[in-house]
Amino acid sequence: MSRAAALAVVLLCALLANGRSIGAGDTRANEYLAASLAGDGDVFLDEYPEVTDPFARTVGGRRVSIYPPLSSALAAPLFALARPFVRPDEAAFALLGKLTAALLVALSAAVLSLAMARRGHAPRMALGAAALFALGTSAWSVSQALWQHPAALLFLSAALYCLVRAEEDDAWAARAGLPLGLALAARHADVAVVLVLAAATALRYPKRAFGLFLHALPAAAFQFAYGAIAFGAPLGHGFGGAGARFAANWSESLPGLLFSPARGLFVFTPLAALALAGAVRELRGPRRGLAASGLAAALAHLLLVGCWSEWHGGDSFGPRLLCGLLPPLFLFLPEGLRLAPRLGAVAAVASVAVQALGAFAYDTRWDRLHRDDFPAALWSWRDGPLAFQMRAGVVILARPRLEGERVVFRELRRTPLGPVGDTVEFAAGGLVVSGERGALCDVHLLRGARVAGPAVELHSNFAGIGFRLREAEPDAALCIEGEGQGTLYVSEASAFDRPRWTSYEVAGPFVVSHPRSAAHLTELTIGVGRGGGTLRLWRVRLPRACP
């Protein structure tokens, strides 16, 4: 138990190491619901217009989240503890949501390590395999914000621990009903894996079937109470019309979920192949019942997700929607690692490296750029998210700070292998940095910025270009050349200072000369805000003088 606790602490630190939240509209709804529970003691989001459709809906004149509330309820105590010390705003909610999610994933790995050790594996093997479950799979990516998945991963891992114990004492088979019920309450989309594990448990331990049902009742009561309060009926939920969205073709979705360069399980988590091999091997052993249950649950989850029209999971890194099959599959990772130790080492390094790329480089930019050609982009090895992030070469380092009562995220984006120069231009291949003085470095594109011909196009939603200036050039003015209609923003900041924004209204061709505000503000961004319009930048320079 002490080793598992130590593992949880180490993993929590690793999952928080990138210093930033990587969320989405789904996670925002969960975070604001946690804030409402902690601050107002209710489940309504009327005071939070930031949670927009389709992530919330109006029922009986009140705004409610469309998602199950259990993840938010688990986060609410942390939100309540922080409330006297931080301003309740989006940055604070994002940080608290990430802390909760990372803690849940770390605990799920710790519990899974206990289950592995209970199956007879050496402590070192159990701890290592559980760490790979947390750091070599999509468990890492969903730990970056308050998704529904982390809570479900914890409860599925707890259910598997009960089922492992049931092989020694069948009373534990009934106790598995509680975590299975909680897993379903946390994430309704895990219904297939939960029902298959429950049915298999009832078949293996028929005398404990009624006890299994009884132990699941508290989770059901929690969900029914929420349905009655939020939707006016115990069976009410926020997924109205979802049945019509189970229209995907398995011939497209299943290969995509397993092998596509954008969402493939075996691409983002090569270790999954070894976990699968370990489970299959166990089918020939004396304890084949649990392996058969786990494989059936994983297959059922895969088939269910494969029916979903948005099987790719929207804006996310890797096969997020397959998180539900990870615990029943990775319980058998130690067996897979023993089958092929050298291959296992290579797969482990590759899996962790891919997930680290997501934690320290992914920023939804790939998703933004490929919304118009998403089906084709899902199968592009050259332009897939892994190749895209490696080609961009950007490492995002961040840390949250408390300024008074306000949580502030300070991000530093670095391109360790990127060029340096004095002029940034654009070509079909991307950024072209030239010049001998080397005044500009760490050049990168932001949000939906897209290189088109000899220019970079900047639309709304904070698309832009970022870079770092050397402090040795404190007096030089930045020269920005382009065309378009709207407002051009220039931000100057440092690792410790708030951004200072300067705006320039432009129309048609323009040349903007921007004087530096201070020598220590070396982190610059040129871009657009929320407003409409399109700007095209041809060139950014730091010359001796700007015409």
pTM comes to 0.94
pLDDT string in tens for the chain (547-residue length): 889 999 999 999 999 999 999 999 899 999 999 999 999 999 999 999 989 998 999 998 999 999 999 999 999 999 999 999 999 999 999 999 999 999 999 999 999 999 999 999 999 999 999 999 999 999 999 999 999 999 999 999 999 999 999 999 999 999 999 999 999 999 999 999 999 999 999 999 999 999 999 999 999 999 999 999 999 999 888 887 666 678 888 989 999 999 999 999 999 999 999 999 999 999 988 889 999 999 999 999 999 999 998 898 888 999 999 999 999 999 999 999 999 999 999 999 999 999 999 999 999 999 988 887 888 889 999 889 999 999 999 999 998 888 888 998 888 999 999 999 999 999 977 899 998 888 899 999 998 899 998 999 998 778 999 999 876 566 678 999 999 998 999 999 988 888 899 999 999 999 999 998 888 889 999 999 876 678 999 999 987 555 5
Helix (H, G, I), strand (E, B) or coil at 402: strand
Find the largest Cα–Cα distance for the chain.
Answer: 86
Give the whole-angstrom CA distance, residue 257 versus residue 13. 30
- Residue 475: its pLDDT value, please? 66
Predicted pLDDT of residue 109: 98
Cis link prior to 54 (omega < 30° from 0)? Answer: yes
CA quadruple 210, 214, 219, 220: dihedral, nearest 10: 80
The per-residue pLDDT for 545 is: 52
Query: How far apart (Å, rounded) are the C-alpha atoms in residues 521 and 499?
Result: 8
pLDDT of the residue at 532: 67
Q: What is the pLDDT of residue 99?
A: 98
Structure token pair of residue 4: 């598992």
pLDDT value at position 517? 83
**CB of 333 within 8 A of CB of 275?**
yes
Beta-strand (E) ranges in 417-529? 423-427, 430-434, 440-446, 450-452, 455-458, 464-469, 478-493, 500-514, 523-527
- Residue 11 to residue 373: CA distance in whole angstroms: 37
The confidence score (pLDDT) of residue 509 equals 96
- Which pLDDT belongs to residue 544? 57
Residues of the chain with CATH 2.60.120.260: 415-541
What is the spatial distance between Cα 173 and Cα 160, in angstroms, rounded to a whole number? 10
What sign has the CA pseudo-torsion 326, 183, 101, 50? positive
Burial of 91 per CB tally in 10 Å (0-12, 13-18, 19+)? middle
In a 10 Å sphere around its CB, with 0-12 CB exposed, 13-18 middle and 19+ buried, how is residue 188 labelled?
Answer: middle
Which fold does the domain 415-541 belong to in CATH?
Jelly Rolls (2.60.120)
In contact, 527 and 489? CB cutoff 8 Å = yes
Query: Would you state the pLDDT for residue 481?
Result: 96
- Pick the closest to residue 439 from 424, 426, 454, 455 (CA basis): 424
Rounded Cα distance between 257 and 263, Å, is 6
